[in-house]
Amino acid sequence: MIACRVIRRSVEALMEPDAQEASSGRPSWKGTGFLTMTGVALFATVASTELHETFHLVVGRLAGLPAHFLALTSAGVTPSVAEHASPEALALMNRVAPIATMLLGVVALVAAPRLRRKAPAAVTDFIAWCAIFAIPYIGLQTMVTAAPVDTRGSGADFAAVLGGYFGVSLVPRTIVSLAGLVIFIASGFWLRTAVSECPEARQSRATPGERLRAVAFRRLVAALILGLVLTAMTVRSFVLLVNGNSRGLALLVRGIVVWAAMVALLVRWQEPGARGVRDHWLFPGLLASACLIAIGLLSHLGDYFLVGLLLALPLVTTAWSESAAGETEAR
């Protein structure tokens, strides 16, 4: 019964504007309903994924390759074609799509706050979710630079270009992969531009030191332990990757999950800024993630499973960056 009451109150909180925010004159975070936002998140993610693969297809054909969809989330050429194809054409097919996705993500990140007060909520939310997909993708694509080289379009794009075409050795590519983890983590801070309802209120955000001082000591200790675990996982990943063991990539991905758990311990979720990100973006994103994971498992599409696993995690960092200074929690 207690759990039911908690769930009911959470749903009611999502459906009604916060009284304190309403009285302050700040825009409400509840402009789009929970299920509608989940649908927008799913649509934006699937559309961004398929647009990325369409770039592979179109550029491959423009380069003279008989590119086609190898699967719903993969476009390229068959192994026999890749074996005899021009290296330049293969590199072009693999290179253009990730760069185009990254550029579109930056455009969406810049456009979202400019359109928020002018366009319908569904439009700006769609653009924001395109940024939520594509900005962390910059880090994710960089992370897989040390993946096994597959130039036919069914593997990691940066690995195919740097390793397959330019012949960059494994150690430099591994260093780039670790840099990708840092970029993915940083993306959560950049995303606040897309999700913030009050860009003009940024001056009221707390400094990192103020946020940490406001967190209970036991949560700081737990976060520190997770930080040490993340460090050990990153070192272990580096050792595996430089020795040609692709399990190091899976360890890097798990590192993202550990980072999100660590930051979640540091967020004061009752603070209005963090609560707004949680209710309006993170919760719908988690439901959309569950749907993508289910699609990936049922259809054996590993890309959707991976996207579902990682989609909402940067928003935990966004919630932390949106927090304002407040009273210290009980120790």
Half-sphere exposure of 257 (CA within 13 A, CB side): 11
Residue 146 above 70 pLDDT?
yes
Average the pLDDT over 202-212 and give the result.
72
Mean pLDDT of the residues in the chain:
88
Whole-prediction pTM: 0.87
Q: What pLDDT, on the 0 to 100 scale, is given for residue 331?
A: 55
Q: What pLDDT, on the 0 to 100 scale, is given for residue 80?
A: 93
Q: What pLDDT, on the 0 to 100 scale, is given for residue 327?
A: 52
Q: What pLDDT, on the 0 to 100 scale, is given for residue 212?
A: 85
Confidence of residue 198 (pLDDT cuts 50, 70, 90): low
pLDDT single digits (tens) 274-314: 999 999 999 999 999 999 999 999 999 999 999 999 999 99
Q: What pLDDT, on the 0 to 100 scale, is given for residue 315?
A: 98
Q: What pLDDT, on the 0 to 100 scale, is given for residue 32?
A: 75
Q: What pLDDT, on the 0 to 100 scale, is given for residue 328?
A: 53
Residue 14 above 80 pLDDT?
no
pLDDT single digits (tens) 29-49: 445 799 999 999 999 999 999
Higher pLDDT, 252 or 18: 252
Q: What pLDDT, on the 0 to 100 scale, is given for residue 329?
A: 59
Confidence of residue 70 (pLDDT cuts 50, 70, 90): very high
pLDDT single digits (tens) 222-276: 999 999 999 999 999 999 999 999 999 999 999 999 999 999 999 999 999 999 9
Residue 211 above 90 pLDDT?
no
Domain range annotation of the chain: 33-197+204-321
Three-class DSSP labels, the chain: CHHHHHHHHHHHHHHCCCHHHHHHCCCCCCCCCHHHHHHHHHHHHHHHHHHHHHHHHHHHHHCCCCCEEEECCEEECCHHHHHHCCHHHHHHHHHHHHHHHHHHHHHHHHHHHHHCCCCCHHHHHHHHHHHHHHHHHHHHHHHHHHCCCCCCCCCCHHHHHHHHHCCCCHHHHHHHHHHHHHHHHHHHHHCHHHHCCCHHHHHHECCHHHHHHCCCHHHHHHHHHHHHHHHHHHHHHHHHHHCCCCHHHHHHHHHHHHHHHHHHHHCCCCCHHHHHHHHHHHHHHHHHHHHHHHHHHHHCCHHHHHHHHHCCCHHHHHHHHCCECCCCCCC
Percent of the chain residues topping a pLDDT of 90:
77
CB count within 10 Å of CB 261 equals 16
